[in-house]
Structure 1
Amino acid sequence: MSDRAVGRRRLLGFTGGLVTVLAAWNNLVVTRLPGYPASYVVANLGAAAVLLAGARSTGLTWDDLGLARRTLPAGLRWGGACAGAVAAGLAVAVAVPALRPLLTDARVEALDGGEIAYQVLVRVPFGTVLWEEVAFRGVLLAALVRLVPLSWAAVASSALFGIWHVRPTLAALEANDVVDGVAVPAAVLLACAGTAAAGILFTWLRVRSGSLLAPVLLHLATNSLGTVAAAVAIRLS
């Protein structure tokens, strides 16, 4: 068997294992780890490091993963522009009383100032955004692109990103009590489809800029600034 065939076989095995892990991690694994939720950030950072090491062992380069130094300026430009647009939209929603209910979240309402700061500055950036972007727009996308056309890779990684959010969606629905039991499956399907669509946008940013930094900045603005906006909207209501 040629070296190229061996490399492809190794990449296929790595990608199959990665898909299995990502399908289960956020829905079945992370909440059962010792010390959860305190262990969430450390566990996800560790998982991101393991994925990067595994990706490198299969021959994926830093450029493949969107982590090449030369692409950082483009990632900063594209991601910064998108993050700025998100910040502007959230500021408008906070400023307009009629729009504030769209931002409120019972999970944020239950947090005090220190807990909000932890969410915004630690849990979201390092436990959620960094891990998810490394996993989906970094390692998984790079592995899939070696195996299938980019369009298929984008759809597959984004669909899995939607599945990744089943448990968080259920938790959000329960906390906010926005639908009855009969409507929950439809609400979860709709929310996960929306997350998959967001995954397509993140993937487009990653490919267009050449840098993982671009989707990281947009994702960070959406989640961290969204939490801040929700806290402000709750206090102004």
Structure 2
Amino acid sequence: MSIARVAGTLAAVALPLAWSNVVLPRLGLGVRGRTAANAGFATGYGLALREGPNWRSRGGVGYGILAASVVTAGYGAALALPSVRRFVGAIADRGPDVSTVEWVAVHIPIGTVYSEELVFRGTLDPLLDKAFGPRAGALLSAAAFGFWHIAPARAAGDSVPATIAVTTVGGLIFGGLRRRTVGAAAPALLHLAMNAGGAVAPRLARRLEGSFRER
């Protein structure tokens, strides 16, 4: 690999990390501003690198719906079990500045899923696969996805090492789906189900617990 190509690939990895952990936090935007800024950055990044997310890959939607259904069923089972439901209900809200409907219908699909899937699975994954091969590319992209979450973890008061570890594993899973379906649709649908379920489940759990206490 030429020096120019190595430098270009490293810049492609570094740019999203600088955006998420340095530039975006310093803009001081509210949740709506962050959603718009993230979507704008992701769109520009994807257009500049021209890899293409291939949202309509053959089988991508089917695999994505299947994976999302499994996650949704898992959330349903958690809400049905009293001990697990109480644990889920104790999880803090992640979208305190907006309504649940707005959070789930706008900010998760656009600010998180669209932005992150376009940057990582739609653009960086294929770029790194071409540069380093599928195995090394998968590891590098997943690690970058993990480090993308440093500033969000700090803002939420979460453990940074734990967040990096969990999101890196998530990046491997999402990347595996992208490689299997040759597109970003399947990981995007799984990502949406996980994040939307994570936003809705704690609130549903608290309502269910409250209704049981009133009986």
**Please, what TM-score do these two structures have when normalized by structure 1?**
0.80
1:136-184 CA distances to partner (integer Å, 9 max, x unpaired)?
A: 111111111121111000000101111111222233336xxxxxxxxxx
Letter in 1 for 2:18: A
Deviation at 1:194, TM superposition (A): 1.5
Say which SS state the counterpart of residue 132 (structure 2) adopts: coil
* Deviation (angstroms), 1:109: 8.6
CA positional deviation for 1:34: 5.7
> 1:197 aligns to what?
169
Equivalent of residue 83 in structure 2, options 83, 93, 98: 98
- Listed as ranges, the gaps of 5+ residues in structure 1 are 175-186
1:88 aligned residue (63, 68, 73): 73
1:120 aligns with 2:92: no
* Other-structure match for 1:39: 33
User: CA offset at residue 13 of structure 1?
Assistant: 4.2
For residues 8-23 of structure 1, the aligned pairs below 5 Å read 9=4, 11-23=5-17
Structure 2: gaps spanning 5 or more residues: 210-215
Is 1:228 the counterpart of 2:212? The answer is no
2:49 equivalent to 1:55: yes
Alignment of 1:35-184 (within 5 A): 35-56=29-50, 60=51, 62=52, 65-67=53-55, 69=56, 71=57, 73-104=58-89, 105-108=91-94, 110=96, 115-173=99-157
Deviation (angstroms), 1:192: 1.4
Native 8 Å contact 1:108 1:231 kept in 2: no
Q: CA deviation at 1:108?
A: 4.7
Contact 2:93 2:202 (8 Å CA) reproduced: no
C-alpha distance in 2, partners of 1:30/1:44? 8
For the 8 Å contact 1:66–1:206, the answer to whether it is kept is: no
Secondary structure class of the residue paired with 2:32? coil
Task: Give the number of aligned pairs.
Answer: 208
CA contact (8 A) 2:150 2:160 kept: yes
Which residues in structure 2 correspond to 1:207-222 (within 5 Å)? 207-222=179-194
CA RMSD of aligned residues (A): 2.2
Check conservation: 1:83, 1:221, Cα contact below 8 A: yes
Q: Does the 8 Å CA contact 1:45/1:127 hold for their aligned counterparts?
A: yes
Return the offset for 1:135. Answer: 0.7
> Identity over the aligned pairs, expressed in percent?
34
Give the match's secondary structure for 1:51.
helix
Structure 2 residue aligned with 1:177: none
